[in-house]
Amino acid sequence: MYVSDDISEKRDELEGMKDLELSEGRWVEVCRLSRITPGTGAAALIDGEQIAVVRARNSENVFALSNFDPFSKAFVIARGIVGDREGTPKIASPIFKQSFDLRTGECLDDPSVRLPVYPTRITDGRIEVLVPSRGHGS
Amino acid sequence: MTERKELLVVGNGMVGHHFLNEAAARGLTSEYRIRAFGEEPRPAYDRVNLSKLFDGKTESDIALGSREHYEKLGVELELDETVVSMDVKAQTVTTQRGRTFAYDALVLATGSRPFVPDVPGKELPGCFVYRTIDDLDQIRAHAASCKTGIVIGGGLLGLEAAGALVSLGLKAHVVEFMPRLMPLQVDDVGGAVLKTRIESMGVELHLGKKTVEVMKSGERVCGLRFADGEELEADIVVFSAGIRARDELARHSGLAVGDRGGIAVDMQCRASAPNVFAIGECAALAGKTYGLVAPGYRMAEVAVRTLAGESADCGSFDLSTKLKLLGVDVGSFGDAFGAAPGSKTISLYDGVARTYKKLVLSEDQKHLLGGILVGDASSYSELLTYVQNQLDVGEHPEALIAPAGGGSGKPALGIDRLPDTAIICSCNNVDKGAIACAIREQKLTKLAMVKSCTKAGTTCGSCATLVGDILKSELKRAGVAVTNHICEHFPHSRQELYHLVRVRKIQSFDQLIAEHGKGEGCEICKPAVASILASTWNDYILKAEHEGLQDTNDRFLANIQKDGTYSVVPRVAAGEITPDQLIALGTIAKRHGLYTKITGGQRIDMFGARLEQLPAVWRELIDAGFESGHAYGKALRTVKSCVGSTWCRYGVQDSVGLALRIENRYKGLRSPHKLKGAVSGCARECAEAQGKDFGVIATEKGYNLYLCGNGGMKPQHALLFASDIDEETVIRYLDRFLMFYVRTADRLQRTAAWLNNLEGGLDYVKSVVIDDSLGICAELEAEMDHVVDTYQCEWKTTVESPERLTRFQPFVNSNEPDPNVVFVRERGQIRPALWEEKQGLVEAGQVHLPVLQPALSA
Ligand SMILES: Cc1cc2nc3c(=O)[nH]c(=O)nc-3n(C[C@H](O)[C@H](O)[C@H](O)COP(=O)(O)OP(=O)(O)OC[C@H]3O[C@@H](n4cnc5c(N)ncnc54)[C@H](O)[C@@H]3O)c2cc1C
Ligand code: HEM
Ligand code: SF4
Ligand code: SF4
Ligand code: FES
């Protein structure tokens, strides 16, 4: 199993150097941007990992976070409603409606819970997600 | 079925009534056949508010019980039937009509009778007491020919009776034997302030006067003579010299009574004979009787719980009172006379404002023990709360009664400071937690709703301000304090948004939020707007521009379940289904490995479909002739029906036919919340139409239409809206009613809650729908026609659109099914595996769980 803490601590750093290949991770192409309706999410399966890829309503911003809803223990985050709470972009789980910050994965209704998030970029109209490479950890 | 035991309740006054309510609420009606006897000719009424009959209220305003009410409770009521004797050995009672009833349990709730001192002339025409509606009727009739009235007794009830005489246009005198007014509630200074206030209202007070004779002229009252030889003229006399427990039945049958009257009872309200209870004013608890309603209600609850086999105890009673006597506020609470050893008193007498306030403090001056308020009792409930919850009064307790604007830093008793266990309504024993919880859970927004749900504030009314404060505080916490805004993204209520969409012809969420809102939207406003757009324009709800607005259920046209799979409910209009359709459902469910269950709405729910299975399941369902059942949407669900006159030997109309027509007409209608209907073929009501948003019950002459009922968490019966109307009228009224509801309700507000909040209630709906008082009926019908004409089966549209079907792929980059969806078999079908049962998959690396991180505190 990977240890995703590494990647999270590097998040801020990563934002600034999205197009750099990092030795701990690799960019994986998911689908065309147009495949995801603005303001909705879709699930992607990358290396057995379920990731919710979420597209903002009004921009080309794309977010990626775990598709696992820790409250219902089902993989459903991508099927939630996208929106904002006081400017924070978020998605609400379709099961019990807890909201998660799309940028940090933090649960806005229970700050003790936080989902892993993954950097994204758009290359030639395609969405790519930076996933940590396996290997260290388990 | 085993025979139920017999429970008899003697007396149908306030406490007897409360007992019946509580008994039914606690299910005693299944163990006992409950029968109540009332001496008065009418069911229980609110005696506390008796005097309101002189300020324009009617009998029905103060009614507590009614025949229908008791019928609903499952209780039998015999009115105008006095119980005249009881035999505690044989366990029977006998009534004045000579009927004898055996009991397994007997509850005496006979109340009190007014005490009339034994003075010569007390029986003369023109002498009255003040206790029942009949007394008031007689007083009113007699007073028509009178100019002056005297009330004997300057207590709480006497002053109320004096007020009644004033409102009948008489000059009123109050004669009190003691040297001050309300001797039980108010001290000397308070009594003096009260006296000046009352005199300034034209009521003449005669204190320290002992009446020795009621004088007559002819056969009528003409005045009183006092012990000091003075006389006072009057043509009507009302005795209000106290009350005496009605314990005569008990005395005659050998039950123990208190030293000062009242049926002696223990802390569980048990009298001295087996299986006999006494509650309310007729009971003497530890030798003491109580002339207030709150202790009586408590006794009723304790008796019910004791009968139900629970342990309960009366404890001690709070005898605090707040009244408006002739327009003067008087409050007396807790240890009003400073009886506690070492207690200290602070009082404030304002000769200009003519107010008097007294606080009794504990020896250490930390706690308030009681007090008296005259002239201004606005702080009564606040102070009482300090007493009941032993709150610290702070450094300057005097500030609690300082005049407003005194600048002395009053320790504001924010309602938020009170613990949840603080009793807010002592009459009905409701604490703060219960009120707050009802406000939160039932989304109450008006004081009237809080009162009707919790009963707090419905008896003496003195706690209403506190209840209002709790409401305000809860609403504020919920972020709806002063606004009815749907959420942070729109400064509008749902109703306003509906109006904007329609009037400005807005077609999409993007347009609405750009023009009338801000931000990105959220899970509150997006589905609400989607529903408004759908009710208004009836577009295909999965058009790309609407897709992101929908809850997952509406987005994937199925009901999500706890494991992320979906259930599928095809429409079975009116519950009518052919054998071939049943077989088709079975075959499809079997082929896709789904769990099947019959729903409460007369249809078949198929569970356990993964996202990617939905289109295939639906393609087969559509081929077999099924349509979407909209079980996933806030939309019309089912119109349930009984089999009706076609088969049923009692049926008078074809209920299935009408239900089919109604369901097919409104199917697909999006609404603020789900809508359910039903049609019964006769008054036996097998389809339970009175528990639905709209229900139709066949009659010999046509149909009765009922509106705004619902089951669920807080069931409410639908109300009769129109009787004996024909089928076309049913449809017309339904068109108008449904569209009116769709237009005006709040988000997630079912019709029952909508009606409860609608000013004017059912009569208003009748005026709009039947009499067209707003002139919108033609519009409402046209809007409904549009919805009906543009109906499409969303699943049919979906399976015909290859583009749409991509939405049902499990992953955008893979067609592998979600490995986390796992079933186990139980009772011959599948069920979702428990989380523990899936652990093996995680260990085997088949399911990858993310490592959840604690949020960084920085
Ligand atoms: C004008 C007025 C104002 C009041 N204001 C207040 C107030 O502000 N606050 C407060 O707390 N309390 C107030 N009270 C007192 C309150 O009304 C009583 O405490 C309450 O009604 C007691 O209820 P109960 O059921 O014990 O007695 P009741 O309400 O008197 O009911 C007893 C019933 O039993 C019937 N009955 C008696 N014997 C028999 C029999 N043998 N067979 C069949 N039926 C029988 C009687 O006819 C009566 O209908 C007021 C009372 C009056 C009259
Ligand atoms: C998560 C919440 C809920 C889910 C998933 C759910 C689901 C369902 C489904 C699928 C049905 C069958 C309906 C049909 O045949 O179309 C049903 C029926 C019913 N539901 Fe719910 N429901 C929910 C909440 C509620 C609530 C809050 C209430 C009460 C207000 C309620 C009251 C009912 C009733 C009374 C029926 C039977 C309908 C009838 O007999 O006509 N449900 N529910
Ligand atoms: S409601 Fe009437 S018609 Fe319908 S099944 Fe029951 S008895 Fe028969
Ligand atoms: S009653 Fe509760 S458990 Fe049962 S279906 Fe409704 S919401 Fe689910
Ligand atoms: S305290 Fe009397 S109604 Fe609440």
pLDDT at A19: 39
Domain-embedded: residue B748: yes
CATH number at residue B694: 3.30.413.10
Tell me if chain B has a CB within 8 Å of the CB of A20. Answer: no
**φ, ψ (nearest 5 deg) of residue B621:** -65, -45
Residue nearest to atom 13 of ligand 1 (CA): B48
Question: Which residue among A3, A43, A58 places its CB closest to the CB of B811?
Answer: A43
Q: Which of residues 55-114 of A touch B (CB under 8 A)?
A: 56-58, 66, 68, 70, 72-76, 79-87, 89-90, 92, 94-95, 97, 99, 104-107, 111-114
**Encoding tokens for residue B315?**
């404890």
Q: Supply the pLDDT for residue A8.
A: 40
**Percentage of chain A exceeding pLDDT 70:** 79
DSSP state of B35: E
Asked whether residue B425 is assigned to any structural domain, the reply reads no
Instruction: Verify that B642 and B720 share a domain, yes or no.
Output: yes
Residue B463 is assigned to a structural domain of this protein? no
Is there a single domain that holds both residue B103 and residue B250? yes
Residues from chain A contacting residue B816 (CB–CB below 8 Å):
45
Chain B interface residues facing chain A, Cβ-Cβ under 8 Å?
A: 488-489, 510, 519-523, 525-527, 544, 547-553, 555-556, 560, 562-564, 806, 810-814, 816, 818-820, 835, 845, 848-855
Q: What is the CATH number of the domain that holds B199?
A: 3.50.50.60
Is the beta carbon of B331 within 6 A of some atom in ligand 5?
no
Q: Are both B782 and B658 inside the same structural domain?
A: yes
- Among B307, B335, B360, the domain-final residue is B307
Q: How far B855 CA lies from chain A's nearest CA (Å)? A: 6
Q: Determine the distance in angstroms separating the CA of B544 from the nearest CA of chain A, rounded to an integer.
A: 7
In this structure, the answer to whether residues B81 and B57 fall within a common structural domain is yes
Q: Which of B95, B111, B87 is nearest to B37 (CA)?
A: B95
**How many CB pairs below 8 Å do chains A and B form together?**
149
Task: Average the pLDDT over A78-89 and give the result.
Answer: 92
Of B789, B814, B841, the residue at which a domain comes to its end is B789
Q: Which amino acid is at B382?
A: E
Q: Is B155 in the pocket of ligand 1 (CB under 6 A)?
A: no
CB contact under 8 A, B812 and A53: yes
B115 three-state secondary structure: coil
Mutation choice for A interface testing from B509, B524, B546, B552 by most A CBs within 10 A:
B552
**ipTM value > 0.85:** no
Strands B5-10 and B32-37, how do they pair? parallel
Ligand 3 lined by B642 (C-beta under 6 Å) = yes
State the burial class of residue B796 (Cβ atoms within 10 Å of its Cβ: 0-12, 13-18, 19+).
middle
Q: Which ligand is nearest to the CA of B684?
A: 3
Residue B262 beta carbon below 6 angstroms from any ligand 1 atom: no
Cβ–Cβ of A75/B820 closer than 8 Å? yes
Q: How far is the CA of B296 from the centre of ligand 5 (A)?
A: 13
Mutating to test ligand 3, I would choose from B643, B654, B688, B706 the residue with most ligand atoms within 8 A of its C-beta, which is: B643
Mark whether B232 and B261 lie in a shared domain.
Answer: no
Tell which atom from ligand 2 comes closest to the C-alpha of B691. 35
d(CA B301, CA B315): 12
* Residue at B338 is within a domain: no
Q: How many domains does chain B have?
A: 4
User: What's the confidence (pLDDT) of residue B390?
Assistant: 80
Please tell me the distance between residue B73's alpha carbon and the centre of ligand 3 in angstroms: 23
Strands B595-598 and B604-609: antiparallel
Query: How far apart are alpha carbons B675 and B694 in whole angstroms?
Result: 8
For residues B48 and B138, state if they share a domain: no
Q: How far apart are CA B705 and CA B725, in angstroms?
A: 8
Q: Compute the nearest-CA separation of A132 from chain B (Å).
A: 12
Q: Do B255 and B235 fall within a single domain?
A: no
Q: Is the dihedral of CA B46, B48, B50, B55 positive or negative?
A: negative
Residue B60 lies in a domain: yes
Residues B540 and B664 in one domain: no
Nearest CA in chain A to B520: A83
Distance B43 CA to ligand 1 centre (A): 12
- Tell if the CB–CB gap between A82 and B854 is shorter than 8 Å: no
B615 or A9: which carries more pLDDT confidence?
B615
Look at ligand 2, atom 30, and give the residue with the nearest C-alpha. B712
In angstroms, the Cα distances linking B637 to A9, B323, B630 are 49, 51, 6
- Whether B200 is in a domain gets the answer yes
Cβ contact, residue pair A81, B851, below 8 Å: no
B204 and B280 assigned to the same domain: no
Q: Is the CB of B653 under 6 A from ligand 3?
A: no
Judge if B95 and B123 occupy the same domain.
no
Q: What is the pLDDT of residue B491?
A: 86
pLDDT for the residue numbered B775 = 85
CA-CA distances (angstroms) from residue A62 to A39, A52, A67, B253, B518? 10, 10, 15, 86, 20
**B76 and B107 housed in the same domain:** yes
From B218, B241, B264, give the residue that closes a domain: B241
Distance from CA of A56 to the nearest CA of B (A): 9
Q: What angle do CA B81, B86, B90 make, to 5 degrees?
A: 130
**A66 min Cα distance to partner chain B (Å):** 7
- B86, B166: one domain: no
All residues at 6 or more sequence positions from B701 whose CB lies less than 8 Å from its CB, including other chains: B724
Q: Which of A45, A83, A114 sits opposite B522 (nearest CB)?
A: A83
Domains of chain A: residue spans and CATH? 26-132 (2.102.10.10)
Mean pLDDT, consecutive 10-residue segments, chain B of 858 residues?
A: 86 96 92 96 93 86 90 93 95 95 97 93 93 94 92 86 89 88 76 83 88 90 92 94 92 92 95 96 92 92 94 81 76 83 82 83 87 85 82 77 48 63 81 89 82 81 77 78 73 84 87 90 90 82 78 87 93 95 95 94 95 94 93 92 94 96 94 94 94 95 94 83 95 96 87 83 90 89 91 89 86 89 91 86 78 51
Preferred mutation among B545, B803, B812, B841 to probe A, highest tally of A CBs within 10 A: B812
Across the interface, do B564 and A66 touch by the CB < 8 Å criterion?
A: no
- B344 to chain A, minimum CA–CA distance in Å? 49
Which chain B residues have a beta carbon less than 8 Å from that of A94?
A: 551-553, 560
Q: Range of B756's domain?
A: 636-789
